């Protein structure tokens, strides 16, 4: 029999989802409630998540310690600082690295986590389960900071229904049978896994009929990798984060060992239980690795050339070459950060005074031939100059006689990438990535119109910049590149290159892979699509969101890659079938059309994550309780 919670007279907020987004919102509610709620007003907050509050599913405990984040521990924070432009007061807190140093060894959930926390440096890449321990600590801190007149109830359950009451209230039904009477509901559910499309269903059927295996896009920690047999060849489509997770779980996770030679080269000693991974992708290469160096000036400054005003001006100009001009402005911004760091950290590698170089650099366009000549005069060794990823893959126009030739080329490419991401000589690479993070608020600010709708014309202009951001700022830790080289040397990973296509051959019951880099085709009975699934709120498993849409109290927005929940992109109010926003129902996250931003943010960058959470927290408090002194 259903039980009713929240029956007291206090207004009730139900927060569905207690991963990073829900935790960040709770922290902002705690800060703003202390300011806005009268002492005589009361509020009940119910948090609903089937996983432990704070970490959610992606960062949950119990994952393999081999699964890592792809951001440095010193670059991750869940707390506002003085760079955040929001109405609520800043509430500084530790980065992941600082938490590990100050609290992690005592507060981590098990001895293995405590040991990892004890050696975590600011440039280290933490395991996802250690990041989850940090997030659970952040949730506990936010809960402790709630003022006495705010009561918190945590439900470790799944929300399975959301209905309206005739009196304007809402009812959230949980998998436990509990029904919570709510005044305001916030959906912070994270990614919603899509179902199989027609092509993927055909692949799965082929594998089932012929004793093979097919793993569609998914979160690697949730996938049964036992279907990939020892010694069996596996075609892998994708060479990013999901591939790296797969790679380590079927090698080191099956008893293989990585070890360094006396000269520092990483080698792999197989266990004999590994499959052979035949990997390729559209680009054929992973994105640039995340730089591991620390910069001479650790705090990125505000954008100098690619300001929010300049970005908006270029986007609104409607000029045919607007995308190219904007890309040039962004590259110049990254170049400024790179060369400033080079002059600060490695002045012996430069030949001009910084004052002269910076003056001439500032007045030239990025594409002006005089810019290249200036850089050549100031930085004589080409290896010391900034190296940004090109628009096209370096493999796009290359064809190799055979697989050993492709392997030799790829090995050299990966070796150089690791060197530039780890050696102090190239710390400018880290500065450029930091500058890129500082650009994000300005880039996102032009993606909505004055009415809060997504501006597709702006998105088209920003397309090349978005691709550059993905290639430069979303790469793997450098050590993953070393592991990839070691596995290739051991014959466990074999490259297919760029322009990968995979088809099903019904007569043979095998998958067939072809690329533009190698002649002929590769066949195998096993296929892994190593990438995250697209969001689809109407897929199986999203009963809560599907119910909203079917009842007309939500609206699904389809794109080429996702089906998302429509929200007003200024207020994050969930829109009904007619496009009207509900002032007491909100949604933020990748599953919705607004607020689809990374939650684990970089310090000192005015991250939109914090500004969104603060604005929504204040909106909710004003909606639920008359604010103190009319604020």
Residues 492 and 466 grouped into a single domain: no
Residue 455 has pLDDT above 80, yes or no: no
Residues 335 and 441 grouped into a single domain: yes
Residues 453 and 494 grouped into a single domain: no
Residue 166 has pLDDT above 70, yes or no: yes
More confident position, 232 or 631: 232
Structure tokens at 432: 């450029």
Query: What is the rounded (10 degree) CA torsion for 111, 115, 117, 122?
Result: -170
Residues 324 and 468 grouped into a single domain: yes
Mean model confidence pLDDT for the chain: 90
Structure tokens at 327: 């890309």
Residues 177 and 259 grouped into a single domain: no
More confident position, 3 or 13: 13
pLDDT more than 90, % of the chain: 67
Residues 521 and 620 grouped into a single domain: no
* pLDDT tens digits along 86-113: 999 999 999 999 999 998 777 766 788 8
More confident position, 482 or 118: 482
Confidence band of 458 (pLDDT split at 50, 70, 90):
confident
* pLDDT tens digits along 5-58: 444 569 999 999 999 999 999 999 999 999 999 988 999 999 999 999 999 888
Pairing of the two strands 170-174 and 159-164: antiparallel
With H, G, I as helix, E, B as strand and everything else as coil, classify residue 161.
strand
Please indicate, yes or no, if residue 611 is contained in any of the structural domains.
Answer: yes
pLDDT attached to residue 35: 93
Please indicate, yes or no, if residue 265 is contained in any of the structural domains.
Answer: yes
CATH number of the structural domain spanning residue 572: 3.50.50.60
Give the whole-angstrom CA distance, residue 354 versus residue 378: 9
pLDDT attached to residue 603: 87
Residue 561 has pLDDT above 80, yes or no: no
Please indicate, yes or no, if residue 461 is contained in any of the structural domains.
Answer: yes
Residues 456 and 593 grouped into a single domain: no
Please indicate, yes or no, if residue 286 is contained in any of the structural domains.
Answer: no
Confidence band of 297 (pLDDT split at 50, 70, 90):
confident
pLDDT attached to residue 4: 43
Please indicate, yes or no, if residue 510 is contained in any of the structural domains.
Answer: yes
Q: What is the mean pLDDT of residues 456-480?
A: 84
Give the whole-angstrom CA distance, residue 333 versus residue 14: 42
pLDDT attached to residue 386: 96
Confidence band of 294 (pLDDT split at 50, 70, 90):
confident
Lowest mean pLDDT among 343-352, 454-463, 494-503: 454-463
pLDDT attached to residue 164: 93
Please indicate, yes or no, if residue 31 is contained in any of the structural domains.
Answer: yes
More confident position, 59 or 4: 59
Pairing of the two strands 526-529 and 233-237: parallel
Residue 508 has pLDDT above 50, yes or no: yes
Please indicate, yes or no, if residue 109 is contained in any of the structural domains.
Answer: no
Please indicate, yes or no, if residue 594 is contained in any of the structural domains.
Answer: yes
Number of structural domains in the chain:
3
Residues 426 and 330 grouped into a single domain: yes
pLDDT more than 70, % of the chain: 94
Residues 139 and 17 grouped into a single domain: yes
* Burial zone of 631 (CB within 10 Å; 0-12 exposed, 13-18 middle, 19+ buried): exposed
Residues 422 and 340 grouped into a single domain: yes
Domain that holds residue 342: 308-473
Residues 205 and 186 grouped into a single domain: no
Q: What are the angstrom distances between the C-alpha of 93 and each of 78, 141, 459, 476? A: 7, 10, 34, 26
* pLDDT tens digits along 54-94: 998 889 888 999 999 988 899 899 999 998 989 999 999 99
| Cα angle 19-21-22, degrees, rounded to a multiple of 5 | 70
Residues 140 and 266 grouped into a single domain: no
């Amino acid at each position: 029999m259903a039980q009713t919670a929240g029956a007291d007279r206090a207004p009730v907020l139900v927060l569905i989802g207690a991963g990073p987004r829900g935790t960040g919102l709770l922290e902002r509610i705690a800060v703003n409630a202390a300011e806005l709620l009268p002492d005589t007003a009361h509020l009940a907050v119910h948090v609903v998540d089937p996983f432990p509050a704070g970490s959610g599913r992606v960062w949950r405990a119990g994952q393999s310690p081999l699964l890592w984040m792809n951001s440095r521990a010193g670059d991750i924070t869940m707390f506002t600082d003085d760079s955040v432009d929001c109405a609520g007061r800043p509430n500084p807190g530790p980065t992941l690295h600082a938490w590990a140093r100050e609290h992690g060894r005592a507060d981590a959930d098990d001895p293995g986590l405590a040991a990892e926390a004890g050696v975590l440096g600011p440039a280290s890449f933490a395991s996802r389960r250690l990041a989850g321990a940090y997030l659970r600590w952040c949730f506990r801190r936010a809960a402790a900071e709630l003022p006495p007149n705010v009561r918190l109830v945590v439900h470790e359950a799944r929300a399975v229904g959301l209905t309206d009451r005739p009196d304007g209230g809402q009812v959230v039904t949980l998998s436990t049978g509990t029904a919570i009477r709510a005044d305001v509901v916030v959906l912070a559910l994270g990614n919603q896994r899509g179902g199989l499309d027609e092509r993927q269903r055909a692949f799965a059927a082929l594998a089932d009929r012929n004793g093979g295996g097919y793993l569609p896009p998914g979160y690697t920690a949730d996938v049964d990798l036992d279907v990939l047999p020892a010694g069996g060849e596996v075609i892998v489509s994708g060479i990013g984060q999901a591939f790296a997770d797969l790679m380590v779980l079927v090698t080191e996770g099956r008893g293989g060992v990585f070890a360094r030679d006396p000269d520092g080269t990483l080698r792999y000693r197989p266990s004999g239980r590994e499959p052979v991974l035949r990997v390729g992708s559209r680009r054929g290469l992973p994105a640039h690795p995340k730089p591991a160096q620390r910069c001479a000036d650790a705090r990125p400054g505000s954008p100098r050339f690619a300001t929010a005003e300049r970005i908006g001006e270029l986007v609104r100009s409607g000029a045919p070459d607007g995308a190219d001009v904007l890309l040039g402005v962004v590259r110049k911004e990254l170049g400024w950060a790179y060369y400033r760091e080079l002059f600060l950290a490695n002045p012996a590698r430069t030949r001009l005074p910084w004052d002269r170089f910076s003056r001439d650099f500032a007045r030239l366009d990025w594409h002006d031939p005089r810019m290249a000549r200036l850089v050549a005069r100031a930085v004589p060794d080409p290896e010391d100059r900034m190296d940004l990823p090109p628009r096209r893959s370096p493999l796009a126009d290359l064809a190799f006689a055979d697989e050993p030739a492709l392997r030799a080329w790829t090995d050299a490419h990966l070796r150089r990438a690791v060197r530039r991401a780890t050696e102090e000589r190239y710390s400018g690479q880290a500065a450029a990535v930091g500058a890129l993070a500082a650009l994000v608020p300005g880039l996102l600010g032009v993606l909505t119109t004055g009415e809060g709708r997504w501006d597709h014309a702006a998105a088209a202009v920003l397309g090349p910049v978005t691709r550059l951001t993905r290639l430069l700022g979303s790469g793997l830790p450098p050590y993953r590149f070393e592991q990839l080289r070691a596995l290739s040397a051991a014959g466990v990973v074999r490259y297919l290159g760029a322009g990968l296509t995979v088809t099903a051959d019904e007569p043979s019951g095998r998958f067939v892979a072809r690329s533009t880099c190698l002649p002929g085709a590769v066949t195998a009975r096993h296929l892994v699509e190593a990438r995250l699934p697209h969001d689809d709120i109407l897929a199986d498993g999203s009963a809560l969101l599907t119910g909203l849409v079917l009842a007309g109290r939500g609206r699904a927005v389809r794109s080429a890659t996702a089906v998302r929940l429509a929200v007003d992109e200024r207020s994050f109010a969930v829109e009904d079938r007619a496009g009207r926003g509900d002032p007491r129902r909100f949604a933020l996250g990748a599953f919705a059309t607004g607020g689809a931003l990374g939650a684990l943010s970089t310090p000192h960058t005015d991250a939109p994550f914090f500004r969104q959470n603060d604005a929504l927290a204040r909106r909710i408090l004003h909606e639920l309780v008359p604010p103190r002194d009319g604020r």
